[in-house]
Amino acid sequence: MRNSRGPLVLVDFDGTITQNDVGALLFDTFSKKESKKIVSLWLKGEISSKECLAKECELIKITKSELKKFALSQKIDEKFGDFVDLCKREKLKLVILSDGLDFYIKLILEKFGLEKLPFYSNILTFEGKKLKPEFPYFDRGCGNCGNCKRYHLKNLRGRKQKVVYIGDGLSDKCVAREADFVFAKNDLRKFCMSENIKHYPFRNFGDVIRIFQKSVLNLSPLVPLPTNVEKGR
When divided into structural domains, the chain yields a total of: 1
Q: State pTM to two decimals.
A: 0.91
Domain membership of residue 84 (yes or no) is: yes
Domain membership of residue 222 (yes or no) is: no
Domain membership of residue 230 (yes or no) is: no
| pLDDT at residue 52, as a whole number | 96
Domain membership of residue 81 (yes or no) is: yes
List the beta bridge partners of residue 8.
Answer: 163
Specify whether the CB–CB gap between 181 and 200 falls below 8 A. Answer: yes
Domain membership of residue 35 (yes or no) is: no
Domain membership of residue 36 (yes or no) is: no
> Digits of tens for pLDDT over the chain (233 positions)?
344 478 999 999 999 999 999 999 999 999 988 999 999 999 888 999 999 999 999 999 999 999 999 999 999 999 999 999 999 999 999 999 999 999 999 999 999 999 999 999 999 999 999 999 999 999 898 888 999 999 999 999 999 899 999 999 999 999 999 999 999 999 999 999 999 999 999 999 999 999 998 888 775 333 445 545 443 32
| pLDDT at residue 219, as a whole number | 52
Residue 79: CATH number of its domain: 3.40.50.1000
- Could you list the residue range(s) of the whole structural domain that residue 115 is in? 8-19+75-216
Of the candidates 85, 74, 94, the one whose C-alpha atom is nearest the C-alpha of residue 163 is 94
